Amino acid sequence: MRKIIETTTAPRGHWVGDGFPVRSLFSHMSGKSETTPFLMLDYGGPYHFEPAARPRGVDVHPHKGFETVTIVYDGEVEHGDSTGRGGVIREGDVQWMTAGDGILHKEFHSQDFTKSGGTFEMVQLWVNLPAKDKSAPAGYQSITDAAIPSVDLADGAGKLRVIAGNYEGAKGPANAFTPLDVWDIRLNAGKVVTLTPPEGWNVMVVVLSGKVSVNAEAKLEGPAVARLARKGGGVVIEAEEDAKVLILSGEPIDEPIAAYGPFVMNSEAEIRQAITDFNSGKFGRL
Ligand code: MN
């Protein structure tokens, strides 16, 4: 079994705009890049919003050099971007957005959710792009819950949704630039699942809620993350109580990271260029 390198719990949260109360479960902004190809994971909510007249969220802002993945568990997010695309991301849906060579977008609660209020729960994950793809054209994959394969785990242990990559022959609908798996697991109390990520890949067990043990070594109570060694075999997760778990595993992108807010490049010179390009309108219009 793989060794656990580190376990972390969620620090105090912060607000992204006025719509997203998040806790960063890991972040490249810490100056570390051991989670590569994943840069950052913000867990939003669960949080109860009262009905409102005007949608809460984040107005137009840029991204460049990576991908943002929005997974909605409860509530609704409405998105619009400078490629002309947009839509509502509902419970179970996923949006996989390639910022690539530069995109402008806005993220708000949907009109319906704003009117009704209710519980809001989501994840936003940032996935790095390799240097050769940092200038890929901006793009947007809208993935509905129905398009995501859901695999029943053995022994009634729960279910696993394949958002990206593969699990036992089921292929996830998201197209990523580098080899990776993003699996959304509901594990039932008292049950066990054994996963076998490829040797050489980074693996993180992200516990959003519930209590689990990982490789009989670490006990995690959500929200918390276990980061495992790149090699050494499988990962055994046992639920002490019903748990909501995201498995992130991927081939490392071992390249330098230079980051400034919503821009993630390989060098300071590229960051300066990204800021210049953004200021001169090269990210398009929204
Ligand atoms: Mn954004």
Q: What is the pLDDT of residues 256-281, one digit of tens each?
A: 999 999 999 999 999 999 999 999 99
Element holding 269 (H helix, E strand)? helix 268-279
Ligand 1: centre distance to CA 149 (Å): 26
Ligand 1: centre distance to CA 244 (Å): 24
CA atoms of 149 and 173, how far apart (whole Å) = 8
Ligand 1: centre distance to CA 217 (Å): 36
Token digits for 285?
A: 């219009």
DSSP letters spanning 181-218: EEEEEEE-TT-EEEE-PPTT-EEEEEEEESEEEETTTE
Ligand 1: centre distance to CA 178 (Å): 21
Answer yes or no: are the C-beta atoms of 22 and 16 closer than 8 Å: yes
Please enumerate in sequence order all residues whose Cβ is within 8 A of that of 128, keeping only pairs 6 or more positions apart, or say none.
Answer: 28, 36, 37, 38, 39, 65, 66, 67, 253, 257, 264
Token digits for 231?
A: 């090699």
Ligand 1: centre distance to CA 99 (Å): 9
Ligand 1: centre distance to CA 221 (Å): 28
Ligand 1: centre distance to CA 232 (Å): 36
Ligand 1: centre distance to CA 143 (Å): 17
Ligand 1: centre distance to CA 259 (Å): 15
What is residue 284's DSSP assignment? -
Ligand 1: centre distance to CA 80 (Å): 10
In this prediction the pTM is 0.97
Q: Name the nearest CA neighbour of 81 among 142, 152, 125.
A: 142
Ligand 1: centre distance to CA 249 (Å): 23
Q: Is the pLDDT of residue 29 over 90?
A: no
User: Which pLDDT tens digit goes with each residue over 176-221?
Assistant: 999 999 999 999 999 999 999 999 999 999 999 999 999 999 999 9
CA atoms of 92 and 115, how far apart (whole Å) = 20
CA atoms of 124 and 109, how far apart (whole Å) = 14
CB hemisphere CA count around 136 (13 angstroms): 19
What is residue 275's DSSP assignment? H
- Provide the pLDDT for residue 4: 97
235-239 sheet: strands from edge to edge: 192-195, 235-239, 211-214, 218-221
Q: Is the pLDDT of residue 282 over 90?
A: yes
Answer yes or no: are the C-beta atoms of 206 and 225 closer than 8 Å: yes
Ligand 1: centre distance to CA 35 (Å): 20
Token digits for 99?
A: 């910022």
